[in-house]
Amino acid sequence: MNRLIRLQLRNVFHNKLFYVCLGLCLLLNTGIPFVASIIIKDLSPLMPVNEIVNMFNSTMSIMVVLFVVLFTCFDFSEGTTKNIIARGYSKVQLLFSKYIGSIVGVFSIYIVTSVVLLIMFSKNGITFDNIVLLKLLNGVIFTLTITILYSTLAFILEKNSAAIIVSLFVPLFVNGILLLVDTKFKNNISKYWIDNVTTDFLKNPTIGNFGICILYCSIYIAIFLFLGIRFSKRKEIK
């Protein structure tokens, strides 16, 4: 298993995909505010740090879809999955190596971009208070959760295009269904969906709401892992 994990980690950092996603994340999160600061001459009133963090978390969601799906589907698209299974690794082990590779790649992008943001905006006299730090930590938990979700979907679907489309629209579809259920039965179960839990926290970023986010994200991670294991055992490797 350790050799398989090392292979996946090597694939992360030897793949152009990682550097493309990192470059896009840096461009969107630092390039736009930097150009704006040159034009306006004063960054603070233009882009408060809370808005920067919110934009960062939103951008990361898009990067997670692209990176995780393409990375997870890499062995399927290259036709090397059978070779990995032939070496004695199980489908569940392959799945977990994809989870680990996806998490390492995503959070490498997250950390590098965060450090660049910190350096860039600290020079403009912007400080990070407790609320901002909570939002960043919330982004970490949320990013981990959707990384597991998208990796599970990509492993099941195998195809890049199908997995990207499904990963982009499944959260919206689930939320839409829950809203319809709320309307039909006069309840409020949609607030428990991962996107809405995170949104509620951003509206009221307190320690209590952050704890709720951790709780629900942990539950979703467990569900996605269970589904991934269940489907991977039944999966036919082509």
Task: Name the residue ranges covered by the structural domains of the chain.
Answer: 2-234
Q: How far is CA 81 from the centre of its chain?
A: 24
Which band of pLDDT confidence, cut at 50, 70 and 90, is reported for residue 103?
Answer: very high
Quick check: 110 and 140 in contact, CB under 8 A? yes
**What pLDDT is stored for residue 39 in this prediction?**
63
Q: 205: Cβ–Cβ under 8 A, 6 or more apart, which residues?
A: 131, 134, 135, 138
Residue 77 is inside which H or E element, if any? helix 74-78
More confident residue, 133 or 55: 133
Q: Which of 74-83, 108-117, 147-156 has the highest mean pLDDT?
A: 147-156
* Most confident range, picked from 13-27, 34-48, 212-226: 212-226
- Residues listed for the chain: 238
Question: Residues with Cβ < 8 Å from 148, sequence gap 6 or more?
Answer: 99, 103, 221, 224, 225, 228
pLDDT tier for residue 83 given thresholds of 50, 70 and 90: confident
Place of tokens 């890049």: 160
Are 144 and 103 within 8 A, CB to CB?
A: yes
pLDDT of residue 46: 43
What's the pTM value of the predicted model, to 2 decimals? Answer: 0.84
Q: For 38-51, how does the pLDDT look when each residue is reduced to its tens digit (9 = 90+)?
A: 665 554 444 555 55
Q: State how far the alpha carbon of 237 is from the alpha carbons of 69, 81, 135, 161, 180, in Å.
A: 18, 7, 40, 19, 37
CB 10 within 8 A of CB 92: no
| More confident: 98 or 163 | 98
